Structures are given as C-alpha cells and as structure tokens.
Amino acid sequence: MRMILSKPIRRKGNTMWRYILTTTLVAFVGLTVCGCDKGGATDANGNEKVKIGFLVKQPEEPWFQNEWKFADEAAAKYGFDVIKIGTPDGEKVLTAIDNLAAKGAKGFIICTPDVRLGPAIVDAAKRNDLKLFSVDDRFIGSDGKPMKDVHYMGISARKIGNMVGKALAEEMKKRGWKAEDTAAMGIGLQELETARERIEGATETLVAAGFPKDKIHIGQVTGMADVNNAFNAADVVLTQHRDVKNWLVFGMNDEAVLGGIRALEGRNVGVDRTIGVGIGGSTGKGDWEMEKPTGFFAAVLISPRHHGYMTSEFMYKWITEGKEPPMTTFTDGILINRDNYKKIMKEQGLLD
Ligand code: FCA
C-alpha cells in the first residue's frame, strides 16, 4: 500500500503520506486497545459488545453452572458478553454490581444469596443504571412480601412439589410399604418462598394420596441448601424419629434429598428402605452414575436452559430493543429416574 501511494508523490509529499499513514495506523491500534481497556470485545461490525452480568449464589452447584452455560449459548447467538460472578453473600453482590457498572455492563441477572437483599439490590441497580432480572429465588421486600415489581423467572414450585409427592406415593404403593412402617422426611429452607412451596406441594400430594400428615417430618437447612447442610438438617429429623422402618425423602432440591439419603445411609438405612425424589436432576444423576443403586429414586428435572438462556435473551432484547420482559415467568419440570435420565437429559441439551 505504501509503495503504491509513494510512487507518484514527490519527496515532500511522500513524507506527508507517511505521516498520514502512521497516524492512521496509530489511531487504529489506539482505538482497538481502547475498546479492550473498557473490558469489551467488539462484534463483527466493530461495535462494542453489549455486556450482561449473571450473578449466582452457589457457583459450585451444577444447576448454576448450567445456567451460566446456557447464558453463554445465548451470548454466542446474539453476540453479547456474559460476565459471570459467584456471589455467595450480600457484600459480594453489592461489589459485583458496582464492578459490572464500571465494566460498562447494561444489566444483570441474579440469583441472590439471600432474598432479603432484594431492596438493596434494586437500589444498587438503579444507582448504577443497570437493568435487573431476578432468577430462581424471588426478592422479599421490607414488608416481608415477594417484590412483584422486580422481573422474575422461577420454577412452578408448588406444581413441581406435587409431582414429587405423586412419585413418592406411587413408588411406595408399588413396593407395598405399609403406612405404619413408613415416615416421610422433607428438607427445606424456611426463608425461601420457592423452597416452602416445593415442600408444601409434596406434602399436600402425599396427604391427598392417603399418607398420614403426622408422619411427615420437615427439617430446615441452615445457610445454603447444599448436601452438607441438608445432611445436618436430616440428622436432626432422624434423631427424633429412630424407630421408622422405611423412609420417603423429599426436599427443596436434589442436594437436600441427597443430604437426607446420606444421613439415612449413615444409619444403615439403604436403597431397600428409602425412596428419595429430588428437584433438579443434574446433581442427583451423580447417584445414577454409580453402579450400585442408592435411595435416590427419581427427580423432577427443571430447566437451566430456560433460566440461563431465556433470561439472558430477555435481558439482551430489553437492552438493545427496549423490549421489556414479562414480569414473572414460571417454568415446568419433567420426572426422570435412573432408567430414563440419559435419554431425557440429552433431549433437554443437558447431556452430550
Ligand atoms: C433455588 C435452589 C436451586 C435450584 C433453583 C431453581 O435457587 O437453591 O438449587 O433449585 O432454586
């Protein structure tokens, strides 16, 4: 290029062209670097990519890893960037929101570590001019009620709980277990509305199927609903009810049920005396990958694709087209077990 340009130009002109070329080059490099400095790649047209934050309370849990994975799929389709941040406590949430704004993000999706942080998160989003979408765990306002003015996607918790109760009752019948030999244990997380509804849903369906209400024992997790905390909650229930032969186990998620099953195994109550039905699928399937069956009998598979892909898509269109997402979206589940989980999870894009 330089050669062609320099040919017809006299020396003075030549110097001038060189100057123009050099400054253009410097400006071009400068612009590119400047784009990187703001933390953003550019799209095919050289425009800076839209950035969307995705904050989750338990980044180690497969459910949340899947949400991130599907958010990335939406990002690849539409050409935006997802900034993924694990925020296990309130301080981390607020720092993350400020950081997102500093990086030029335009909005974020969050599963909060504590639903009572709702009003503080709304304030932080407003202060930083960020659009906000809550997922999985619904914010609670200062009046103690769900914040219905914050966009939200959650699972149809009661309905999914009903599916759990039905699966437990049917399998108990199939095994011919007598009511007098059997008790049920539900592991919940009291402060979480979606968890309460899941537990209530399972309980009401068990009772409707004829299971005695006074034999349904609920344990509450302290902190996050992971297997360890659920194990501890289950241990309290089992210590209070030592004389039970067979156990039905349900909970707010797979982790809660697995905690219950591990606690039972610790007391030598194994697969022949346990029916556990989870909610999630991705963590529970670990038990189905083991050669020897455990008490984890089935799970309601819920959709991280919807909660990850769709929420990010909603947010992207909100930012770029001004299209406001629906205020509330509730998603469904599918009952899976050791025999059919591979097929169904493949169909749902959750297994290769
Ligand atoms: C809550 C639970 C998760 C998952 C999600 C849909 O956030 O903690 O395990 O069930 O709802």
Per-residue pLDDT tens for 3-61?
A: 332 333 333 445 444 544 444 443 443 333 333 334 457 777 778 899 999 999 999 99
pLDDT at 40: 55
Residue 42's pLDDT is 79
Is the CB of 280 within 6 Å of ligand 1? yes
Mutational test site, ligand 1, from 66, 138, 139, 253, max ligand atoms within 8 Å of CB: 253
Contact (Cβ atoms closer than 8 angstroms) between residue 280 and residue 63: yes
How high does pLDDT run on average in the chain?
90
Residue 82 predicted with pLDDT over 80? yes
**Which tops the pLDDT comparison, 244 or 22?**
244
The token duo for 235 is: 């241990």
Mean pLDDT of 151-164: 98
Task: Provide mean pLDDT across the span 297-311.
Answer: 97
How many residues does this entry show for the chain? Answer: 352
* pLDDT tens column, 184-232: 999 999 999 999 999 999 999 999 999 999 999 999 999 999 999 999 9
Give yes or no for residue 157 CB within 6 A of ligand 1. Answer: no
Helix, coil or strand: residue 147: coil
**Rounded distance from Cα 344 to ligand 1 centre (Å):** 20
CB contact at 8 A, 247 and 254:
no
Structural tokens at position 275:
């029916």
CA-proximal residue: ligand 1, atom 2 (nearest): 253
CA dist., res. 92 & res. 44, Å (int): 34
Q: Tokens 């186990």 sit at which residue?
A: 249
Across 232-249, average pLDDT? 97
CA-nearest residue for atom 8, ligand 1, is 225
DSSP state letter for 110: E
Gap from CA of 343 to ligand 1 centroid (Å): 23
Note whether 244 and 183 are within 8 A (CB).
yes
CA pair distance 316, 311, nearest whole angstrom? 9
Domain ranges of the chain: 2-37, 51-150+305-331, 157-302
Nearest CA residue ID for atom 10, ligand 1: 253
Q: Which of 47-51, 151-155, 246-250 has the lowest mean pLDDT?
A: 47-51
Q: Which atom of ligand 1 is nearest to the CA of 61?
A: 9
Ligand 1 center to 250 CA (angstroms): 14
Q: What is residue 19's predicted lDDT score, i.e. its pLDDT?
A: 45
Mean pLDDT of 88-98: 98
- Please state, in angstroms and as integers, the Cα–Cα distance from residue 75 to each residue in 36, 43, 83, 104, 308, following that order: 18, 11, 10, 16, 10
Distance 284 CA to ligand 1 centre (A): 13
CA of 302 to the centre of ligand 1 (A): 10
Cα separation, 246 vs 219, in Å, equals: 17
Distance from the alpha carbon of residue 181 to the mean position of ligand 1, in angstroms: 32
For residue 263 and ligand 1, the question of a CB distance below 6 A is answered with no
Q: Compute the distance between CA of residue 270 and CA of residue 334 in angstroms, rounded to an integer.
A: 26
Best residue among 138, 158, 226, 252 to mutate for probing ligand 1, ranked by most atoms within 8 Å of CB: 252
Report the pLDDT averaged over residues 298-320.
98
Kindly state the tokens that stand for 211: 């299971």
Residue 119 has pLDDT above 80, yes or no: yes
Specify the fold of 51-150+305-331.
Rossmann fold (3.40.50)
- Same CATH fold, 157-302 and 51-150+305-331? yes
Measured in Å, residue 57 CA sits from the centre of ligand 1 at 9
> For ligand 1, is residue 195 a contact (CB within 6 Å)?
no
Give percent above pLDDT 90 in the chain: 86
pLDDT digits (tens, 9 = 90+) for 341-352: 999 999 999 999
Question: Nearest CA to 216 among 170, 263, 168, 261?
Answer: 168
Could you tell me the distance, in angstroms and rounded to a whole number, from the CA of residue 280 to the centre of ligand 1? 8
pLDDT confidence of residue 41: 74
Residue 283 pLDDT more than 70? yes
Give start and end residues of each alpha helix (H) in 103-184: 118-127, 157-175
Cβ of 137 below 6 Å from ligand 1: yes
Which has the higher per-residue pLDDT, 296 or 17? 296
pLDDT over 60 at 288, yes or no: yes
272 has a pLDDT exceeding 60: yes
Let me know if 145 is exposed, middle or buried by CB neighbors in 10 A (0-12, 13-18, 19+).
Answer: exposed
> Residue range 160-182: average pLDDT?
97
Q: Helix, strand, or coil here: 218?
A: strand
CATH of 157-302, one of 3.50.30.50, 3.40.50.2300, 3.90.79.10, 1.10.579.10: 3.40.50.2300
Average pLDDT over residues 83-103: 98
Q: Is the CB of 136 under 6 A from ligand 1?
A: yes
